[in-house]
Amino acid sequence: MSPKKVAFQGERGSFSEVAAKELVGNDIIPIHCETFEAVFELVESRRAILGVIPIENSLIGSIHKNYDLLLEHDLKVVGETQARVQHSLIALPNASLSRIKQVYSHPAALDQCRDFFKKHPRLEPVTYYDTAGAVKMLAEKKLDNTAAIARPYAAEIYKMKIMKKSIEDEKSNYTRFLLLGRTQPGFQGRAKTSIVFSMKNQPGVLFKALSVFALRDIDLTKIESRPVRKKAWQYNFYVDFAGSIKEQHVKKALDHLSEITHFIRILGSYPMRVVRD
Amino acid sequence: MSPKKVAFQGERGSFSEVAAKELVGNDIIPIHCETFEAVFELVESRRAILGVIPIENSLIGSIHKNYDLLLEHDLKVVGETQARVQHSLIALPNASLSRIKQVYSHPAALDQCRDFFKKHPRLEPVTYYDTAGAVKMLAEKKLDNTAAIARPYAAEIYKMKIMKKSIEDEKSNYTRFLLLGRTQPGFQGRAKTSIVFSMKNQPGVLFKALSVFALRDIDLTKIESRPVRKKAWQYNFYVDFAGSIKEQHVKKALDHLSEITHFIRILGSYPMRVVRD
């Protein structure tokens, strides 16, 4: 097999790149995108075979932008994985902590290292668009009084020094990623299915929707409501559940659901990734 | 009545200040906080009578941080309101658009004005911690080649010029705010109640939880799941519904719910704000 072109958001060394290799294998041709939109567009236009997006973080919650993009684009979810978030303080190989004044990173990463900044009040956190991008910028500009917060993998890629490992406040911090493709693949083993639907704004509608799963003992693994654009305070519901659309009881449940929804779309059935801690 | 001390996040001219005046009246003593945590802490420690926090935006979705803080602190939700989000391009009174190079604002505001930046590719968006804070910074530093994106109210407060009004991509964009206090007040009229609960991770548990409302024709206005800290992929559910905890059928529903939940907390019953468009 020749290496596959896989698109993801972020610079070389980004968390999505780590996830892409975990999902597809080390032998990929990585396509670095500036935005999540670009990931969807590249797969849709066949300039990439697959795309990888973060969808949910165990501390922060869902990455809403990507839920919206799943709806705007016509791609299939073909896989999932998760990885633990580890933040390191990274600087030039010759840097010393006593001379560091500013620390660049994505706002979410800065926010997850508050205890570190409390312990080092001399260090000023500065927001940057991307964690790995901050490491790249330090490496290119050779700023020796500046550090970045990113994953250890970013230090490796840009030949930088890890000054402090695991400076995140909360160690139980995982991000779940989805693999996107153009077609639904066949596979063996336990499956998970992701769907999105909307309902009329009437009492008890969500209860009715969930009944189609409960009546068939189908286990919901996630439910997420997202505002519908241009209709304030109306919601789309994103539901993940155990089972494949190829199974009879799942087909029946979705038939039943479509009787009571405004709109329903199956985002994909894919191999379920069992949680490791 | 003497003016009440009301705490909220943001500089003078912030969106929360507008909401605080709408909720409590113009005659307040505003207490500007740097963080949402500080708002909760000031009300809890009686340094403020009331606090105002944004909880949900009709485009972006919930403000997760504040859902988490509601759980961490022992305050009551005593009111709600909502306001339309309007972004303006704001600069010094003598600034001209042709000389503006950089535009400072909160990342969410920059993201909501993408069409504007596409039309003006010469303008570089720069992330800043706060929208009104960006206007304040321009006013103080007298940067005449720089603009900020914030609400018109911020221009008024800092005596700056509105260079372009309503540059947001999406006009149907509302933020919902909650009013926080230490005690549950009495009131007349239609009520809304906010609760949070968690359940065992078993098939059909959410269906059972929603049944306590559906069986009593209680209308859910919002459901939100948030990851439980330190327990990856377990969720707390935040539910808003029509009715007051003083009503008999609501009491019964919550009794019923507490039979099947791990944990349940009533965040408050408060006057329902009917949506205006």
Contact (Cβ atoms closer than 8 angstroms) between residue A268 and residue A216: no
Residue of chain A whose alpha carbon sits nearest to that of B128: A127
Residue B233 is predicted with a pLDDT of 64
Residue A276 is predicted with a pLDDT of 47
Catalytic annotation, pick one of B40, B177, B197, B213: B177
- Please enumerate in sequence order all residues whose Cβ is within 8 A of that of A37, keeping only pairs 6 or more positions apart, or say none: A69
Q: Is the pLDDT of residue B108 over 60?
A: yes
Contact (Cβ atoms closer than 8 angstroms) between residue B191 and residue B25: no
Chain A environment of B275 (Cβ under 8 Å): 232-233
- Please enumerate in sequence order all residues whose Cβ is within 8 A of that of B140, keeping only pairs 6 or more positions apart, or say none: none
Chain centroid, CA A67 distance in Å: 10
Residue B76 is predicted with a pLDDT of 97
Q: Is the pLDDT of residue B171 over 90?
A: no
Test A229 with B170 for CB contact under 8 angstroms: yes
Residue B229 is predicted with a pLDDT of 67
Average pLDDT, chain B: 90
Residue B174 is predicted with a pLDDT of 86
What percentage of chain B carries pLDDT values higher than 70? 96
Q: Give per-residue pLDDT as tens, B216-255.
A: 999 888 888 877 766 666 788 999 999 999 999 999 999 9
Residue B36 is predicted with a pLDDT of 93
Catalytic annotation, pick one of B81, B131, B146, B175: B175
Residue B91 is predicted with a pLDDT of 97
Strand B4-9 relative to strand B50-57, pairing: parallel
* Residue B177 annotated as catalytic: yes
User: What is the pTM for the complete model shown?
Assistant: 0.79
Q: Is B256 touching A (CB cutoff 8 A)?
A: no
Test A231 with B172 for CB contact under 8 angstroms: yes
The closest CB to that of B174, out of A217, A232, A275, belongs to: A232
The closest CB to that of B203, out of A129, A218, A277, belongs to: A218
Test A203 with B223 for CB contact under 8 angstroms: no
Mean pLDDT for B139-167 is: 94
* Residue B183 annotated as catalytic: no
What stretches in chain A show pLDDT beneath 70?
A: 1, 229-233, 274-277
Q: Is the torsion defined by CA of A132, B115, B19, B104 positive or negative?
A: positive
Residue A28 is predicted with a pLDDT of 94
**Assembly ipTM:** 0.71
E-strand ranges in chain A read: 4-9, 28-33, 50-57, 61-62, 76-84, 88-91, 102-105, 124-127, 146-150, 161-164, 174-181, 191-198, 220-227, 235-242, 263-271
Structural domains of chain B, ranges and CATH numbers in brackets = 4-84+176-181 (3.40.190.10), 88-164 (3.40.190.10), 191-271 (3.30.70.260)
Strand B220-227 relative to strand B235-242, pairing: antiparallel
Per the listing, tokens 């039979």 go with: B259
Q: Is A114 touching B (CB cutoff 8 A)?
A: no
Which of A199-203, B133-137, B155-159 has the lowest average pLDDT?
A199-203
Per the listing, tokens 């890629």 go with: A157
Residue B29 confidence class, pLDDT cut points 50, 70, 90: very high
Residue B275 confidence class, pLDDT cut points 50, 70, 90: low
